[in-house]
Amino acid sequence: MYKRFIISQSAIFSALCLLLFFSSSAVFGADTSAGKEQPSLYQIAKIEPNLQGDTLTMLIVGNGEPAYTVSERFSPFRVVLDIADAAFDPAINPQSKLIPDNAFVSLQTSLLTDQDPTITRFEFTIADTHDYKITRDGKSIKVQINPAAAGTAAKQPPASASPGSIVAINDIVIKTSPEETTITLASSAPLTNYTSDSVTGKAGEKPYLYIDIADVNISELIREKQVGTSVDAIQVEQKGNGARFIFKSASSSLFEYKVAHDAGQIVVTVKENLDLPGNALAGSSQPDVPGQSDKTLDTLIGETESILAKGADGADKPGKKDPNAALEDTFSFAGYEKQRISVDFYKIDLHNVFRLFRQFTDLNIIVDEAVEGSLTLALTDVPWDFALDIICNLMDLKKEERFNTIVIYPNKKTFIWPDRLEDNLSVEADTEIVEQDAFIIEQSANLSKEILQAQEILRKAQLADENEDFEEAASLYEQASKLWPDNVKILNRLATLYLVNLGVNAKAVHFAKESLAKEPGNNRAALYAAIGSANMQRNAEALEYFTQSISGTPPMKEALISFATFCETTGQNEQAIKLLDKFNASWGETMDTMIAKARIYDKLGDTKMAVNQYKALLASGFPLPPDLKKYIHGRLAASSF
């Protein structure tokens, strides 16, 4: 379900054209020659509304699979459903009441004949008390208007409870070690009335432990806290006068745990499984989930922040530079962006050093037997790849990384990767390529001559990509795209190459638009088009594509963050706050979103909200850099709140 956000500057958003799916062929370069078969008409045979109390379900029944888009309008909040090439059955009067009278939703229909194709529009005006969900059900479109979930509102102590009966839980304190993780629910008074249990075996869901606590206030807690050990995350939900804490397992089996009562507080002790994929203590990355950030999009978002922070002449805007932030970014500028670690080695054998590095990475590490010696080294809060380079430089070693494997050997030796692996097309040529954009070369005797030629060119393009010869790679991908024009993944890769590696925004937008013309629902391509347009100061166009990029269910987390960055840098601070709230509702708060909200509240002059956000950030349990902690404490000390 969409978690709605309200934006006050409706004049800006009323200018949005979200209909990328229905954009004219002149814009996207589509072939509209007379010999092309025109799309079939979607005949709306009937509309079936069903009003049950404060819930409305409406079924739009047609004669085939509908092509449609869903977008949002604001002030007042409206949901717009646009159906392409649709027509009402003569028995339906679209100007009549299509839904029963009620207090929370109204409907208006219209026909947009100036669009190509023609659009039949359903515009639902929805009260703040309700949310919506629109899905395709076979040949029908299902619209559901439901009461907003109670969990979306700020949690306050129930009015019926007496002031003295409510205990505030104000923090979740997490301590980890290789053997166990300890999670303490810190409260303002002893917690005595609680129960715990676990749930396992549900299809499609990972097991979890839950603790129900009666008569507690959780208004100071964030909705979800990432842990990254055997416990993937902790969710907090209101439950009557109390709360439920859900400890989600990171694997398909439930972790070993113990729930105890210690000095009036609830303490959960979890035994760690260091072999568990995704366990932060083992150094592996988090499990892949829909919408999870990828490295390409992280780079895109950073690119947006950097470019938009500059004026039209490329000069930095006044007030944008923060010396502390610049210091923190030093490693990133040098190309070191891996997980940060602290190490203290004293005369330790090199082979054991590299075995320990396996705990920090999700890579295979192979060390030549000729590597020998011991090492003393102390580093604090540095990326692990930086630490590895330091060690290799000190000990006169080389490292080569390929195929998810690092090989370490003496500088005087040479190492040759197996040819058979280099020619194997099932191996990704570049681990930085977005997974969705990885090429799958079909082996089929029925492929056309052009596609077979494109495959050969793609081999060369991927090798150039791997060798970071991005200009050559882009040229080859363009040749392959002309021979294989229906391959959207080539277009997506071209968009990312020109945007991230070559900095040619115009070409990035061009190929993103071509991708959208062939696959209108491709929200990632919409994000590439949005960021490229923003970098060229085409803010109206960027706004259009950003809006499409967050239209998924749930919205892509990268799109929400990048859209919020765009709004903040273009002075639309209230919209940026709403987008960050939408991110938090869909994915849970992160340290970056909390910092961004505090910063934006400061820009808006809302000191009280900014201070509250800084306090919440200190109490969140996120590992804050020392300079950031110092700044927050100074900011709070200077405030009268």
**Least confident segment among 134-138, 238-242, 302-306, 431-435:** 431-435
For residue 50, pLDDT beyond 60: yes
Task: Give yes or no: residues 198 and 267 share one domain.
Answer: yes
Q: Kindly report the CA angle at 170 between 166 and 171, in degrees rounded to 5?
A: 145
Is the pLDDT at 327 greater than 50? The verdict is no
Residue 610 in domain: no
3-state secondary structure of 523: helix
In a domain, 47, yes or no: yes
Distance of CA 485 to the CA centre of its chain: 29
Is residue 396 located within the same domain as residue 372?
A: yes
Q: Which of 37-41, 61-65, 224-228, 414-418 has the lowest mean pLDDT?
A: 37-41
Q: Does the residue 606 lie in any domain?
A: no
Average pLDDT taken over every residue of the chain: 75
Q: Which helix (H) or strand (E) holds 69?
A: strand 68-73
Question: Cα(552)–Cα(162) distance, rounded to whole angstroms?
Answer: 43
Q: For residue 44, what is the enclosing H or E element? A: strand 42-52
Calculate mean pLDDT across residues 154-159.
36
| Whether residues 190 and 274 fall in one domain | yes
**Residues 131 and 174 both lie in one domain:** no
Apex 515 CA angle, 509 and 518, nearest 5 = 145
For residue 593, name the pLDDT band (cuts at 50, 70, 90): confident
The answer to the question of residue 576 being in a domain is no
- Site of tokens 């008409």: 41
Instruction: Examine residue 185 and state whether it is found in any structural domain, yes or no.
Output: yes
* Domain co-membership, 17 together with 137: yes
Residue 635 binned pLDDT confidence (cut-offs 50, 70, 90): confident
Alpha helices (runs of H) in 395-443, residue ranges in sequence order: 419-422
Give the percent of the chain with pLDDT over 70: 74
**What's the whole-number mean pLDDT along residues 506-534?**
89
Torsion, Cα 459 463 466 467, to 10 degrees, reads: -160
Sheet holding 397-402, edge to edge: 364-367, 405-410, 397-402
The pLDDT value recorded for residue 273 is: 66
pLDDT for the residue 159? 36
* 226 and 274 co-located in one domain: yes
| DSSP result, 191-216 | --SEEEEEE---TTS--EEEEEESSE
- Structural domain contains residue 231: yes
**Same domain membership, residue 188 and residue 135:** no
Structural domain ending residue among the three candidates 148, 175, 203: 148
Residue indicated by tokens 């071509």: 514
Examine the domain organization and report whether 143 and 173 are in the same domain: no
Residue 218 lies in a domain: yes
CA angle, 79 then 84 then 90, to 5°: 95
Alpha carbon 520 to its chain's center: 20
State whether 196 and 122 are in the same domain: no
Res 28 pLDDT > 50: no
Sequence-distant (6+) residues with CB within 8 A of 118 are: 84, 85, 86, 111, 112
**CATH code, 49:** 2.60.40.3500
Q: What CATH code is carried by the domain that includes residue 275?
A: 2.60.40
Dist CA 66 CA 122 (whole Å): 14
Helix (H, G, I), strand (E, B) or coil at 9: coil
Q: What is the pLDDT of residue 148?
A: 77
Is there a single domain that holds both residue 266 and residue 348? no
Residue 13 banded pLDDT, cuts 50, 70, 90: very low
Mean pLDDT for the stretch of residues 442-462: 75
Whether residues 267 and 336 share a domain: the answer is: no
pLDDT for res 59: 93
Number of domains in the chain: 3
Backbone angles phi, psi at 78, to 5 degrees: -135, 150
> Final residue of a domain: which of 369, 387, 410?
410
Which residues are CB-neighbours of 626 under 8 A, at least 6 positions away?
none
Question: 154-168, 248-262, 266-280, 485-499: which has the minimum mean pLDDT?
Answer: 154-168
> What are the Cα distances from residue 321, in Å, to 112, 324, 508?
47, 9, 28
In this structure, is residue 477 part of a structural domain?
no
DSSP 588: -
Note the pLDDT of residue 25: 31
Say if residue 102 is in the same domain as residue 194.
no
Cα(181)–Cα(250) distance, integer angstroms = 13
How far is residue 556's CA from residue 552's CA, in Å, rounded to a whole number?
A: 7
Task: Identify the CATH number of the domain in which residue 400 sits.
Answer: 3.55.50.30
Q: Higher-confidence residue: 120 or 361?
A: 120
Domain final residue, candidates 387, 410, 433: 410
The model's pLDDT over 204-245, given as tens digits with 9 standing for 90+, comes to 678 889 998 888 888 777 777 878 788 888 988 887 778 889
Domain containing residue 354: 322-410
Helix (H, G, I), strand (E, B) or coil at 295: helix
Neighbours of 414 (CB within 10 A): 8
The two three-digit tokens of residue 455, written as one number: 């495959």
The token pair that represents 604 in the structure block: 């808006």
Residue type, position 112, single letter:
L
Mean pLDDT of 384-408: 85
